[in-house]
Structure 1
Amino acid sequence: MTAASAEATAPTAADLAGRRVRVKVPATSANLGPGFDTLGLALARYDELEVEVVDDGLAIEVEGVGRGEVPLDESHLVVRAIAHTFAHFGLERPPLRLVARNAIPHGRGLGSSGAAIVAGIMAAKGLLEPEIEISPDELLELATELEGHPDNVAPALFGGLTIAWVTPEGPRHKKLMVHRGVSPLVLVPEHEMSTALARSLQPTSVPHEDAVFNVSRSALLVAALIQSPELLLAATEDKLHQRYRAEAMPETDRLIRALRAAGHPAVVSGAGPSILVLASDPSERADAIRLVEESAQTAWQALPLAVDFLGATVQAVDAD
C-alpha cells in the first residue's frame, strides 16, 4: 500500500483508542561467517512487547535486558520505529503505553537493535490494521531505513535463514528453511561490542582473491545450511571481515580459532563479541561448550538455541 492510498483510509484517533497488540521478535545472527551484510539466521530467543493506545502521554516499562539502561522517552528505539511507521503513512504517533520484556542481550551481536526496530514496526502494523495493510516488502523497507542494512531485520521479520540484498526499488529478501540437523549454539561474553566500532575496522577494499574466496564460501554455506550440514566447517570460512575485527575482541578471536581447530563451525555472531557455532548435532554443541568452559579466560554464557522459523508476530489483544 502506498502512503497516499493509506492516507485516504487512515484510522482516526477514535479508531485507535484502546487498541492493544502483543509482539514477539526473535534474536538474529548476521553474516554467519562469509555472508557479510547478506546472510542472517533467526534464533529462538525473544523480545516481547505489549503496546496500547492510551488517552495521552507516553509510558514505557522495561523488564529483563536493558532495564534501568535504555531510555524511557521518545528516543526509545521501539517508540522511534512506531513513529517512523506512522509517519510513513502520513500519521502522527498516538499516545502509548509500552511494556517491553527483553531477553535478547544488548551489544553482543544478536540483533537487539534490529529486534527493537522490528518490534516497533510490527506493533504499528497491528495498531493500524485493518484500515492499513503493510506488505512484507514495506515492512523490510521500513526496518532497513532505520537499521541501515537488512541482514538482521530480514530474519527478525521473516524467520529462518534469509538472504537479503538491496535494489534501486528497495531491500529484498529470500527466506530459506534450515536443515533439521543444524543445531545452533551461541556463546555470549559479559562484555559488549559496538557495531559502529566493528564496522569502522573494516577496510574500504579487499584483495580480489579474498572477495572470490567469500563468494564461494557464501554459496557453499547456503547449501550446507539447507541441505548438507556436514559441509558447515568449510562453508563458514571467511576472509572479508572477521580478521579485521579480531583486535577489538581478542578472546572471541582466540576461542573461535580453538573451536575451529577442534572441528566446530564457529564464527563471530553479527558484529560480535558473541560466537555462533553452527553445529551439525546436539552432541557437537555439548563438545563446543566444554571446550569454551575449559579454555575461556572470562565468563561466557552458553545458549543452545533452535532456529526460529516463524519470525516476528503480532496479535491484537481484546480490551479488558
Structure 2
Amino acid sequence: MVGFKLSLPASSANIGPGFDSAGIALNRYLTLQVFENDKWEFEHNSHLLPSFTDYKDHFIYQIAKRLADRHNKSLPACRVKIDSEIPLARGLGSSASAVIAGIELANQLCCLSLTPEDKLAFGTEIEGHPDNVAAVLFGGFVITVKTPKNEIDYFQLPALNLDIVVYIPTFELKTEDARKVLPKSYSRKEAATASGISNLVMASLISGNFELAGRMMEQDLFHEPYRAELIPNYQFIKQAAKNAGAYGTVISGAGPTMISIVPKGTGETTANHIQSLLPDYQVEALMVDTNGLQIKLAAE
C-alpha cells in the first residue's frame, strides 16, 4: 500500500528579544507515515508522544478535522504511524510541529491545495503567534509578524554560519505557566529599548556579526527577566556556555530548555563539555533545519 510521509522539524522561538516573532527550525523531527485504512488508527512509536485513548481525542486528528470541516470536506480514514524526537513542554516547538502535521494531513487527504501562506495563517490561528509554525513550515531562521490588520508577513534569514547547542532538562514547563509571569504591559521606554535590542539581534545575525548578536540576545526585556526564575540553572548554563565560547545563550521558547549560538564547528565540543557539568540534562549540538515541512511518498 502506498501512502505518504510527513517530516516536521522541532523549533525554538524568541531567540532572546524576538518575542513571539522569531523562530528557528532544528534537526529533531516529528514524522508521520499515513496509509489508507478502513478506520482511523494512530500508532505511537516514541515515548515522547502524549498518550491518548480514542482517535477523536488525538491532537493531530483534531487539527486535521477542524481544517477539513472549514472546507466542508470529510477526512478519509487512515492508519497513522507517528514517531517523534521532540520532547513535550520543553520549549522546542512540539505543539507547532503537531499543528502543522494536522494541517498537512488534512491538506493531503482532502486535496485542499493550500498555499504555504494558507498553512501559516491557520497554524497561527491555532497557536496564537506565528514564530514556531513559520519555522516548522519554511525551515531556517524566520522572522514573522501578525499585523493589526491580521495579515501575516515573514522574512527568512540567509543561512547562518553557526552551530546550535541545546540544554534539555528532564522537567516540563507549560507555555501557559510561563506566560503567567509576564507583565500585562510595558512602558514606552521599556518597549522602545526592547524593540531596539531585537532589531540589533536580527541585523547583526544577517550581517554575520555574531558577537554583537549574542550580546544583544542576552539583554532581552520582553520575557527572559520574568521567566528566568522558573528555570533552574538559568545563570549557571549561561555562564558555562560563555566560558566555553558561546556567542549567546537564551531560553528556548517558553523554556525550560535553553539554547546557545556558538561558533561553527564548536557545537559538539561545547555540548560535551557542558554535559559533563550537567549530567541530569540532555546537552546536544544541533543543526539548523533548512527544509521545513517535507512530504514524501511512503510504501508500507
* Global fold match (TM > 0.5): yes
Alignment of structure 1 residues 5-20 onto 2, 5 Å: 20=3
2:189 alignment counterpart: 209
Q: Shift of the alpha carbon at 1:60?
A: 0.8
SS of equivalent to 1:308? coil
Q: Shift of the alpha carbon at 1:75?
A: 2.0
| Distance in structure 2 (CA, Å) of the matches to 1:201 and 1:312 | 32
**1:291–1:98 distance in 2 versus 1, CA, 3 Å:** closer
Q: Shift of the alpha carbon at 1:190?
A: 0.8
Match of 1:249 among 231, 235, 241: 231
**1:258–1:239 distance in 2 versus 1, CA, 3 Å:** farther
| Distance in structure 2 (CA, Å) of the matches to 1:255 and 1:192 | 17
SS of equivalent to 2:57? coil
2:29 is equivalent to residue 29 of structure 1: no
Gaps of 5+ in 2: none
| Distance in structure 1 (CA, Å) of the matches to 2:53 and 2:23 | 28
2:135 is equivalent to residue 152 of structure 1: no
Match of 1:122 among 99, 104, 114: 104
2:64 is equivalent to residue 82 of structure 1: yes
Match of 1:303 among 284, 295, 300: 284
| Distance in structure 1 (CA, Å) of the matches to 2:232 and 2:15 | 19
Q: Shift of the alpha carbon at 1:262?
A: 6.2
Match of 1:315 among 292, 296, 299: 296
Kindly indicate whether the alpha-carbon contact (under 8 Å) linking 2:73 and 2:110 is maintained by their aligned counterparts in 1: no
With 183-192 and 243-252 compared, the bigger mean Cα shift is at: 243-252
Kindly indicate whether the alpha-carbon contact (under 8 Å) linking 2:275 and 2:282 is maintained by their aligned counterparts in 1: no
**1:45–1:172 distance in 2 versus 1, CA, 3 Å:** same
1:8 alignment counterpart: none
**1:99–1:72 distance in 2 versus 1, CA, 3 Å:** farther
| Distance in structure 1 (CA, Å) of the matches to 2:244 and 2:182 | 28
**1:253–1:48 distance in 2 versus 1, CA, 3 Å:** same
Kindly indicate whether the alpha-carbon contact (under 8 Å) linking 1:65 and 1:103 is maintained by their aligned counterparts in 2: no
Match of 1:52 among 23, 27, 35: 35
**1:24–1:218 distance in 2 versus 1, CA, 3 Å:** same
1:187 alignment counterpart: 167
Kindly indicate whether the alpha-carbon contact (under 8 Å) linking 2:245 and 2:262 is maintained by their aligned counterparts in 1: no
**1:140–1:67 distance in 2 versus 1, CA, 3 Å:** closer
**Partner AA of 1:78 in structure 2:** I
Q: CA RMSD in A?
A: 2.2
Kindly indicate whether the alpha-carbon contact (under 8 Å) linking 1:61 and 1:72 is maintained by their aligned counterparts in 2: no
Match of 1:62 among 44, 55, 69: 44
**Partner AA of 1:159 in structure 2:** G
Gaps of 5+ in 1: 1-17
| Distance in structure 2 (CA, Å) of the matches to 1:252 and 1:77 | 31
SS of equivalent to 1:64? coil
1:12 alignment counterpart: none
| Distance in structure 1 (CA, Å) of the matches to 2:54 and 2:212 | 46
SS of equivalent to 1:86? helix
Kindly indicate whether the alpha-carbon contact (under 8 Å) linking 1:26 and 1:115 is maintained by their aligned counterparts in 2: yes
2:41 is equivalent to residue 73 of structure 1: no
**1:263–1:316 distance in 2 versus 1, CA, 3 Å:** closer
Match of 2:276 among 289, 293, 298: 293
Return the TM-score normalized by structure 2: 0.90
Match of 1:91 among 64, 70, 73: 73
Q: Shift of the alpha carbon at 1:171?
A: 2.6
1:11 alignment counterpart: none
Kindly indicate whether the alpha-carbon contact (under 8 Å) linking 2:267 and 2:285 is maintained by their aligned counterparts in 1: no
- How many residues align? The count is 296
Cα deviations by residue, 1:174-230 (Å, 9 ceiling, x for unpaired): 222232x21111111111111000011110112333322321222222233333123
Cα deviations by residue, 1:264-297 (Å, 9 ceiling, x for unpaired): 3100000101011011223266236424532x4x
Match of 1:111 among 72, 93, 102: 93
**1:212–1:299 distance in 2 versus 1, CA, 3 Å:** same
Kindly indicate whether the alpha-carbon contact (under 8 Å) linking 1:86 and 1:93 is maintained by their aligned counterparts in 2: yes
SS of equivalent to 2:63? helix
| Distance in structure 2 (CA, Å) of the matches to 1:72 and 1:257 | 46
1:234 alignment counterpart: 215
Report runs of 4+ in structure 1 exceeding 4 Å deviation.
260-263
1:5 alignment counterpart: none
SS of equivalent to 1:243? helix
| Distance in structure 2 (CA, Å) of the matches to 1:281 and 1:100 | 33
Q: Shift of the alpha carbon at 1:249?
A: 1.5
SS of equivalent to 2:233? helix
SS of equivalent to 2:266? helix
